[in-house]
Amino acid sequence: MSQMQNVETQLRQMILGLEIGPGEKLPERWIESRFGASRTPVRAALLRLETEGLVGRDGRGWTVSPINLAELEQVAVYREAVEVAALRLTCGLADRSAVDVIEAMLESCDHDTPREEWHRVGMDFHIELARLSGNEFLFRAVRDAMTRLSRARWLEVRDEAALSRAWTEHRAILAAARLGDADEAARLLSGHIVGSRDRLVTSLANDRRGLRARGFAVVAA
């Protein structure tokens, strides 16, 4: 793999995995030495990550984007629009058997699956569901929105109850989609997204002080 892709991928993982905290300074020279690459691939990676909203400019330099509660609320509205549109397209397809693949994804998580895996599958559910629509732009929009939400969801203190609730809702959405009931599927998905957003923002707003103490920049709604 080329250095360019390598730096970009590794840096993204470090940011999404909170190995580099939201708000931290990110000098090009530090990245350069950290990954053993020169500044050319480093800059390419930063430019790409900037469009994903994971890093941003702070005056002259680069910083990891802080968690922004106002942004999270806006992303939720955005993803509701695109996910519902994608789901309606999928419900209109003649062959909706692919939803079974997604169902299987959900079932692959059980009580001794690591937390990290639940987190990943919870996002992939939405991404793969959008992919079924066959619309590349709706798919990318959902994927990008989930990327922006990823760190916040990771920070959220998720109890078992919230996870099992989410899984139940995911299954209900798939059931409606399998029947081709677009209105019901859309209703369930909207409710799921709005509910998730509320729990996420509430949780983060409550933990804000603690998160800041851990060195994570969190800006209010």
63 forms bridges with which residues in the sheet? 25, 56
Of 63 and 203, which CB lies nearer to DNA in the complex structure? 63
Of 37 and 204, which CB lies nearer to DNA in the complex structure? 37
Helices (H), 180-220: 182-213
Of 62 and 216, which CB lies nearer to DNA in the complex structure? 62
Composition of the chain by helix, strand, coil, percent to 5: 70, 5, 25
CA distance 21 to 100: 37
Between the alpha carbon of residue 180 and those of residues 53, 92, 135, the distances in Å are 35, 7, 18
What secondary structure letter does DSSP report for 25? B
Which range, of 57-65, 99-107, 108-116, 133-141, touches DNA by CB under 7 A? Answer: 57-65
CA distance 87 to 149: 20
Among 24, 28, 52, 184, binds DNA (CB under 7 A): 28
Give least dist CB 23 to DNA, A. 14
The answer to whether 62 contacts DNA (rule: CB under 7 A) is yes
CB 20 within 8 A of CB 26: yes
Give least dist CB 72 to DNA, A. 26
The answer to whether 59 contacts DNA (rule: CB under 7 A) is yes
Site string for its own copies, 97-136 (x = CB under 8 A): --------------------------------------xx
Subset of residues 35 to 54 that bind DNA, contact rule: CB under 7 A:
37-41, 43-44
Of 10 and 74, which CB lies nearer to its own copies in the complex structure? 74
Half-sphere exposure of 114 (CA within 13 A, CB side): 3
Among 5, 57, 77, 115, binds its own copies (CB under 8 A): 77
Amino acid symbol at 132: L
CA distance 126 to 212: 29
Reported as type and span, the H/E element at residue 219 is strand 218-219
The answer to whether 93 contacts its own copies (rule: CB under 8 A) is no
The answer to whether 10 contacts DNA (rule: CB under 7 A) is no
If DSSP states are collapsed to H, E and C, what string results for 82-95?
HHHHHHHHHHCCCC
The contact set with its own copies (CB under 8 A) reads 40, 43-44, 47-48, 51, 71, 74-75, 77-78, 80-82, 84-85, 89, 135-138, 141, 145
The contact set with DNA (CB under 7 A) reads 2-4, 25-30, 37-41, 43-44, 59-62
